[in-house]
């Protein structure tokens, strides 16, 4: 029996766009070029590593203290944006897929680099739905390192090779494969040559898993 580990931002809920807005405010305020293309590089990556990627475009160098302030600035904006998050922000097909997985007895987990994971799951009313949650508060290395998915598998008490990961991040697909898991790409992650499957809708995942 397979288990399914979902990424959160951009897979379960449209918070990937809120991350974009918050990082964009930080970048604009500091005169750092930032666009959707750069934002795609931040998918699946921790807050600190996201900042490092953004700062590659900056001519200035920043002290550790300044970096902390930039991350705080971004997160404050992001958390304010989360205030308006609600059940209807869950991406299309997610609730239906979760219901079908549960009906088929498939264990489900979240594997996200975000430290805001639990807050978001609460906001959208999915905090008690998953059998396990592994997030950015529990790991040393974010995607493309497999750590967060391995933590999720351990919490599900299943072997990595029995896990199927659903990801919108190229780094997330790399993490899944590095962890010896099956990788399903949706959205931006479809550009990864490592993906085992590419889907446009959640229901295609039910077909891949041969759910009744
Ligand atoms: P947290 C976030 C990063 O800030 C963001 O850049 C990533 O795209 C996102 O994680 C990936 O899920 O982490 O600031 O919510 O802890
Ligand atoms: Mg994501």
Same domain, 158 and 203: yes
C-alpha to C-alpha distance for 169 and 83, rounded to whole angstroms: 24
Q: What is the pLDDT of residue 52?
A: 98
Q: pLDDT digit string (tens) for 146-183?
A: 999 999 999 999 999 999 999 999 999 999 999 999 99
Closest ligand 1 atom, residue 10 Cα = 12
Q: What is the pLDDT of residue 122?
A: 97
Same domain, 95 and 7: yes
Same domain, 66 and 107: no
Q: Is 143 in the pocket of ligand 1 (CB under 6 A)?
A: no
Q: Is 77 in the pocket of ligand 1 (CB under 6 A)?
A: no
Please tell me the pTM assigned to this model.
0.97
Tokens read off for 4 = 């399914």
Query: What is the span of the domain harbouring residue 69?
Result: 16-82
Same domain, 147 and 66: no
C-alpha to C-alpha distance for 30 and 163, rounded to whole angstroms: 41
Same domain, 40 and 64: yes
């Amino acid at each position: 029996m397979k288990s399914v580990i979902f990424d959160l931002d951009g897979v379960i809920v449209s918070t990937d766009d809120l991350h974009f807005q918050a990082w964009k405010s930080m970048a604009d305020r500091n005169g750092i070029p930032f666009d959707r293309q750069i934002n795609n590089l931040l998918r699946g990556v921790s807050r600190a590593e996201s900042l490092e990627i953004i700062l590659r475009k900056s001519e200035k160098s920043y002290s550790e203290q300044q970096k902390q302030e930039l991350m705080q600035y971004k997160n404050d904006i992001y958390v304010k944006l989360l205030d308006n998050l609600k059940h209807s922000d869950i991406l299309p097909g997610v609730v239906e897929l979760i219901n079908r997985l549960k009906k088929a007895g498939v264990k489900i987990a979240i594997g996200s680099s975000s430290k805001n994971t639990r807050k978001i799951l609460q906001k959208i009313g999915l905090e008690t739905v998953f059998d396990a949650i592994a997030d950015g508060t529990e790991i040393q290395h974010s995607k493309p390192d497999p750590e967060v998915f391995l933590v999720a598998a351990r919490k599900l008490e299943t072997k990595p090779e029995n896990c199927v990961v659903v990801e919108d991040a190229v780094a997330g697909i790399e993490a899944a494969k590095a962890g010896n898991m099956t990788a399903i790409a949706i959205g931006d992650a479809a550009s990864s040559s490592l993906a085992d499957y590419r889907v446009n809708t959640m229901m295609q995942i039910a077909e891949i898993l041969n759910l009744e």
